[in-house]
Amino acid sequence: MTELLFRRDGYAREATGKVLSITDEGGLVLDGSLFYPTSGGQPGDSGVLRWNGREIEIATAVKGLGDAVILIPAEPAGLPQVGDAVVQVIDWDRRYRHMRVHTALHLLSVVIPLPVTGGAITADKGRLDFDMPETPEDKATIEDDLNRLIACNMDVTEDWISDAELDAQPDLVKTMSVRPPRGSGMIRLVRIGVGAETADLQPCGGTHVANTAEIGRVRLGKIEKKGRQNRRVYLHLV
């Protein structure tokens, strides 16, 4: 098990850790990971590990068994040993852009209130695939609505509910392609807005900004047809 340090503080850039194990492929498992592992359309974090005056580059992170996070070194040599104390530093500029794009995609699912069938995030742009048989007529209106929501300066917070509570509220699940993580008995909900002013509430394990103001303005990109039933909608950070 790896403690999910990125979950405890989405704004932490640096943390200590200890190497618990090294996989056959040379991946490193720490007791706690500041590196977000690729999941839910959000890429794994990159960065560096430092120990005893040495440093290696981490290319990305992926999920292992259970809550384990496996850090993937850019080069398979010169790794720390099991038991070594390390300092982990993530590429904060890249991760913060992921947080901004990710949070903006939640709001895109508000201004386009249709079922989501997929999604992906990069440091510059993100996209959601919607169950949307017709291309929307007014792209400018969607972009305006989205930027108006962002400018509401809404807080982004988390709630936790039980599996049974989620089963009783199936409408909370907007993204059909990403199953809410079950097993621990509790599911994390990400809320944008407060109380009756909540704009979005859905299960999500990703990293988000603390307030929508941090997203800044976004531009709606192309809308691609993906099969008979789906449209892929892009947004870009400005």
Judged by the rule CB under 5 A, the positions of this chain that interact with Zn ion are: 190, 204, 206
- C-beta of 116: minimal distance to Zn ion in Å? 11
Residue 83: its H or E element: none
**Nearer CB in complex with Zn ion: 86/190:** 190
d(CA 57, CA 142): 40
Contacts 24+ apart (CB under 8 A), 140-144: 142/111, 142/112, 142/220, 142/233, 143/218, 143/219, 143/220
**30 vs 204, beta carbon nearer Zn ion:** 204
Residue of minimal CB distance from Zn ion?
Answer: 204
SS (H, E, C) 115-140: CEEEEEECCCEEEEEEECCCCCCCHH
Under 8 Å between Cβ of 156 and 149: no
Smaller CB separation from Zn ion, 30 or 101: 101
User: Which residue type occupies 61?
Assistant: A
**Cβ of residue 45: shortest distance to Zn ion, in angstroms?**
15
Q: Give whichever of 30 and 190 is closer to Zn ion, judged by the CB atom.
A: 190
As measured in angstroms, the least distance from the Cβ of 33 to Zn ion is: 18
CB nearer Zn ion, residue 190 or residue 218: 190
**Least distance (Å) between residue 208 CB and Zn ion:** 6
| Least Cβ distance, residue 190 to Zn ion (angstroms) | 5
